[in-house]
Structure 1
Amino acid sequence: MKALQGVEGNVEWRERPAPTCDVGQVRIRVAAAGLNRADLLQRAGLYPPPPGVSDALGLECAGVISEVGAGASWKVGDRVCALLAGGGMADEVVVDARHVLPVPEGLSLAEAAVLPEVYATAWLNLFKLGALKPGEKVLIHAGASGVGSAGIQLCKAFGNPCWVSVGSTERLAYCESLGAQGGVVRTQDMESLRDFAPFDVILDPVGARYAALDLDIVARDGRWVVIGLMGGREATLDLAKLLGKRVQLIGSTLRNRDDLFKGELIGELCQNVWPLFAEGRLQPRLERSFAAKDVEEAFESLASNQVAGKLALLIDESLH
């Protein structure tokens, strides 16, 4: 089979042995894979896959099941999408059957391919770790990203007013169209977030650059969830504020969680989130799809930080 490798800052399609499908697993013939910032990091050699995981790129995909291992409840021919620790940008992938979701009614395989990673990340960090209650206020940094787009829609669906920081006025308008109450453009005036504070939960993929401000504007008993380090890894904090406000500072990653944890997380998505797509309350924010031959263009588009929502790579267009 062909699989996409990150090689010294570039990407290349290479022939790889097809993985075996064991007990509790399914084989998916991949139609499309979602692109994520983690793929950019892995391409650059900065984010290797966990031990035992394929070194091919791709943390999510959609396609058609072609083989079912013993004990798995799916059947050959099912249209599905899957959360992966790696290997989604390939002709086929073998995955724990518990990490697979049905394609929501009315969605294409390309649209479904960009759902698992961002919705799993948003649900995990806002509702499981962040323990959001109805009516609590949320701040999402990088609100126009894939995770941000998912988070805003989830906040709207579950009754949580949400504000964002973004890179442009156009992106702010995009976030407001998804349900954000408002926000700021980071190049203009981050301090204006104080006007909307305090926030019960802050979802932060930026890290050090926003740390001092986040600590100032998080609410008493608030949850400050750091999921990325786009703005650096080292910050100086006044820990007296952390103690005085009883803030929970939570560091969170998803890729290296164990299979049982991911299976339970996917089960929660299937029960609480996936029905909202059929109801029209959630929408895949697929900005653009790229043919497999245009993979370099796809990665450069993602690296430009000009994407609102998600990008997909079409692996097998005959399935669409």
Structure 2
Amino acid sequence: MSQSIPSEIPVIDLRPFVEGDEAGARAVAAEFDRACRDLGFVVVVGHGVPQEVIEAAHRTSRAFFDLDLATRERYAAPPGGFVGYRGLGAEGLAYSLDQESVPDLKETYTVGRIDRGDDPYFTSPVGRMYMPDPIWPTEVPGFADAWTEFYRAMDRVATELMRAFAVSLALPRGFFDDKIDRSISCVRALNYPHQSTAAQPNQLRAGAHTDYGSLTLLSMDDAPGGLEVQRGDGSWAAVRVPPDAFVMNVGDLMAQWTNDHWRSTMHRVTNPPPDARGSTRRQSLVFFHQPNYDAEVVPLPSCCGPDDPPKYARTTSGEHLFMKMTKAKNLNV
């Protein structure tokens, strides 16, 4: 079920967990437990998302970033908001480590939760804060449809991964179901433009950081300058995957939920080498999975004991996210 690849990231086939027997599901769950303890990064195959869904989301994203800057900026994220467009230099990701950094060499487009009902959970001021209306660029034909389908597909994969996580952590398979059925997840496209001039000192396409939520799913181009994951000894391992696979990593919230038994690992996106030929443009699509904003998060009993007491006080998914975002704003004023 798993195999080694040059990037040193374990590859796990999700299909036996979803479609297989109980023994197969337990074996997959055990693989996730090992990987999440050791490195916190996994390459996921057998996820069931059609390649045409992935390609349509990439194609429409690239078309958006090909629009002229004035048009892109018409879809800018509102002050204090996160949906919409953010241009080059809008953020430096070291803020997730409570550090200042030089601006990252990327631009982004973000859409929050797609499917929302008229329940007060979605329509209340708190609900609207975490789930604002999506902003769809009308200049790109099929953008809204492609992103909606991609969001829903990624949400289904994340749900199955959370079920695998539950089994990995000696919990009932559906333990997380009622904590993620109204998740405040988002999809983000990241465009790393061709670099024709040298970066500033210590400036990267994305500075070293960890992610906020429960898990992250990444679909990326194979282009010069790319994702690197920090090993336990502090060195960096490059990640390269086929276009039909997703890179999955544990987020800060899941590390906290597991009392740090699982790792939220630092990662970064490097600049292309100086001798790279042709275009060095690179694009990624990221699904940041974040549980329901009122989901309670306390260290799980299976991750605590007399010699391993809880390290974290009770919080909620929304409170944790708000804390992280507030720090980001304070460090990027």
Shorter-chain TM-score: what band?
Answer: under 0.3
* TM value normalised by structure 2: 0.27
By percentage of residues, which structure has more strand?
1
Higher relative contact order (CA 8 A, sep 6+): 2
